[in-house]
Amino acid sequence: QSVLTQPPSVSGAPGQRVTISCSGSSSNIGAGYDVHWYQQFPGTAPKVLMYGNINRASGVPDRFSGSKSGTSVSLAITGLQAEDEADYYCQSYDSSLSGVVFGGGTKLTVL
């Protein structure tokens, strides 16, 4: 059971918009600790997408955006493309655990 909760899977058709949520608590996201997002393709290392909740990493298209509300953050992908099909993970810090935590991951399927 991950401290940060993500939906196991989301899907969308090409061109559509999807969102991936990352729900935490008062000891992590709610405490103001930044959330970072990663994209991982099968058999490869993760790649950073977003820093500090809303900031895109270098080279990441503006189809990707982040938002935060209370104890949750979301990653939105607009204009969905087949190449976006991957696993997505959120990451933050948890003061109760005194450590870095990841969400369980969300598999994005492009229909």
Partner 1 sequence: QVQLVESGGGVVQPGRSLRLSCAASGFTFNRYGMHWVRQAPGKGLEWVSFISYDGSKTYYAGSVKGRFTISRDNSKNTLYLQMNSLRAEDTGVYYCARGQGFLTGSDYWGQGTLVAVSS
Question: Where do contacts with partner 1 occur on this chain (CB under 8 A)?
Answer: 2, 33-34, 36, 38, 40, 44-48, 50-52, 57, 87, 89, 91, 93, 97-105
* Nearest to partner 1 of 31, 85 (CB atom): 31
* Nearest to partner 1 of 24, 105 (CB atom): 105
* Nearest to partner 1 of 36, 84 (CB atom): 36
CA distance 105 to 102: 8
Length of the chain as a residue count: 111
Minimum CB–partner distance for residue 103 and partner 1 (Å) = 7
One DSSP character per residue, 46-99 reads -EEEEETTTEEPTT--TTEEEEEETTEEEEEE-S--GGG-EEEEEEEEETTTTE
